[in-house]
């Protein structure tokens, strides 16, 4: 959603920054030849929104790997339980006395 030159900006968003952050923002405006901190912040937020809305190409693959790890973890727990159970059950073999 891009505003045209004729679009009026009627809403205000405010946030507080430290003096150090403010000086850093001023320097960024000068470096990037941006008119104001508001313009810099607006552009940064719009860019962040665009980038965060892009689909992650590895999202589905990552979820599949996470599910497989969960399955393996459950199987490992089951095997550990069986080993402990086997150790607890007498084998029926004669023991040396």
**What does pTM read for this prediction?**
0.48
pLDDT at residue 94 in the model: 58
Angle between helices 37-52 and 19-32 (to 10 degrees): 80
Residue-wise pLDDT tens for the chain (97 aa)?
455 555 788 888 899 999 999 999 999 999 999 999 999 999 999 988 888 777 777 878 888 999 999 999 999 999 999 999 988 887 766 555 5
CA distance 63 to 56: 12
Backbone φ and ψ of 87, nearest 5°: -70, -30
Backbone φ and ψ of 33, nearest 5°: 55, 45
């Amino acid at each position: 959603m891009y505003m045209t030159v004729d679009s009026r900006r009627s809403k205000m968003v405010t946030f507080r920054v430290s003096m150090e952050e403010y000086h850093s923002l001023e320097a960024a405006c000068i470096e990037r030849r941006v008119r104001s901190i508001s313009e810099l912040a607006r552009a940064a937020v719009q860019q962040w929104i665009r980038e965060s809305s892009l689909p992650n190409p590895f999202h589905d693959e990552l979820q599949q790997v996470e599910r497989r790890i969960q399955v393996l973890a459950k199987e490992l727990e089951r095997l550990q339980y069986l080993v402990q159970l086997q150790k607890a059950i007498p084998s029926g073999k004669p023991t040396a006395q």
